[in-house]
Amino acid sequence: MQLVDKNGNIFGGGIEVTGPDGKPKTTGGGGGSPTGPAGGDLYGTYPNPGVDWNLGISTYSMYYYPLSSNPAGYITTAALSGYLTVATAASTYYPLTNPNAYISGITGSDVTTALGYTPYDAANPAGYIDSSALGPYLTATTAAATYQPILVSSTNIKTINGASVLGSGDLTVSGAAAWGGITGTLSSQSDLNTALNGKQDTLVSGSSIKTVNGNSLLGSGNLTISSNPITLASLIGSNLIGTANQISASYRIAGGTLVANNSIFINDLLTKTAGSTTSTARIYINTTNSLTGATLIGTASAMTSTTYIQRVFRTYYFNGTHLFVYNPTSQLSTDVTAGTITLVPFNPAIDYFLIFAVQNSTTTPDNLGHKRVIIQLYD
């Protein structure tokens, strides 16, 4: 017999099908094919009956899949309709980092803005004024040092004959008694007389104040002096002892003294009272009256044990920004007619000091000094 399942698979001859009662339903092999209607678990007619699967009898020992569009039972998109995607979850639920959505980072101004008023302050519930709020206010001490007390007659300002001097209008006072009992001549009032004697007399040209070339120094404006050269200074220096380089004399050239094309001429007399050491005189320029940071602009010839006096002549030309200096380190009594020029910066708007220094080779008291220094200005 041949057996055909629901999917159309044909199982060939020689198959024996046994029913639940243990009896064979049909046999094949020996004779010819059966004929007639089929019974039992079969239906139809021989030789091609069908199996009635609806009876649910498992003795056929045959497994089959029901006719289906998803025989493997895969999950379909319809089955996921009850589940959330990442997007729908984010729009539906709060993240677990702050599930209750608490507010963080609140400041005092946030609270005040939200409430519409300033809430209770536990640190200063009564709103007392602290010391920092008193900064713009005066104390009795600072007020007294800043302002004058209000004038009150007979308290901090005297009255005259019992009348207050405060207010507008004229206060008529007559008689010696009105002036506190001042009587007699002016010379008898010692305090007032002393004060008046300390005053300067009226200046009168040629009498109490000198004239220059016959011109009065009184009044405003500039007094032009046409003499050339102008003697700026005549100095007497100190004779010094010791091996240190020391200042014997100095002169301040005030700002505005020099203008372009001026020349400074120095006539320097050096003297020494003994002759056991070698002594040297130097000339410097500096913005302070000190050898610290000073610039050397001239060196005199060395004065040996046999030299007691020396004349030093130096001329410095000013071009508006620099002094022209001949051989500042060479020991020379006078400027040379030809030689190396050193340009020394000079700002005519500020003060400078011409410094005259002396130095001995030993501590023997030779007393070298710039005895007389004449400084002249040429146009």
Displacement of CA 253 from its chain's centroid (Å): 38
Burial class (CB in 10 A: 0-12, 13-18, 19+), 175: exposed
Q: For 96-114, what is the mean pLDDT?
A: 72
Q: For 51-67, what is the mean pLDDT?
A: 54
User: Which residues are CB-neighbours of 213 under 8 A, at least 6 positions away?
Assistant: 225, 226, 227
User: Which residues are CB-neighbours of 92 under 8 A, at least 6 positions away?
Assistant: 84
Q: Taking Cα atoms as reference points, which of 303, 254, 284, 274 lies closest to residue 373?
A: 284
Determine if the pTM surpasses 0.85: no
Please state, for a pLDDT cut of 90, what percent of the chain lies above it. 24
Residue 236 pLDDT greater than 80, yes or no: yes
Residue 306 pLDDT greater than 50, yes or no: yes
Q: What are phi and psi of 133, to 5 degrees?
A: -75, -15
Q: 45-48 contacts: CB < 8 A, separation 24 or more?
A: 47/1, 47/2, 48/2, 48/4
Displacement of CA 66 from its chain's centroid (Å): 89
- Identify the domain boundary among 15, 36, 55: 55
The band of 22, judged by pLDDT with boundaries at 50, 70 and 90, is low
**Domain assignment present for 12:** yes
**Domain assignment present for 315:** yes
**Domain assignment present for 119:** no
pLDDT at res. 305: 79
**Domain assignment present for 109:** no
Count of helices and strands (H, E) across the chain: 4, 19
3-state secondary structure of 186: helix
In this structure, the dihedral spanned by the alpha carbons of residues 266, 269, 275 and 280, taken in order and rounded to 10 degrees, is -10
Q: For 292-310, what is the mean pLDDT?
A: 91
The CA-atom distances, in angstroms, between 230 and each of 100, 146, 324 are 97, 51, 20
- Identify the domain boundary among 33, 55, 77: 55
Q: Which domain holds residue 317?
A: 230-378
3-state secondary structure of 57: coil
Tokens 């006719």, residue?
Answer: 67
pLDDT at res. 40: 74
pLDDT at res. 373: 92
Specify the CATH number for the domain of residue 332. Answer: 2.60.120
**Domain assignment present for 337:** yes
User: Which residues are CB-neighbours of 265 under 8 A, at least 6 positions away?
Assistant: 229, 313, 314, 315, 375, 376, 377, 378
Query: Number of structural domains, the chain?
Result: 2
* 8 Å CB contact between 268 and 281: yes
**Domain assignment present for 366:** yes
pLDDT at res. 61: 45
**Domain assignment present for 271:** yes
CA distance linking residue 50 with residue 60, whole number of Å: 13
3-state secondary structure of 64: coil
Q: Which residues of 212-251 are buried (b: 16+ CB within 10 A; e: fewer)?
A: eeeeeeeeeeeeeeeeeeeebbebebebbbeeeebbbbbb
**Domain assignment present for 256:** yes
pLDDT at res. 336: 78
Q: What is the pLDDT of residues 193-224, one digit of tens each?
A: 777 777 777 777 767 777 765 677 777 777 76
Task: Supply angle C-alpha 374, 375, 378, rounded to 5.
Answer: 130
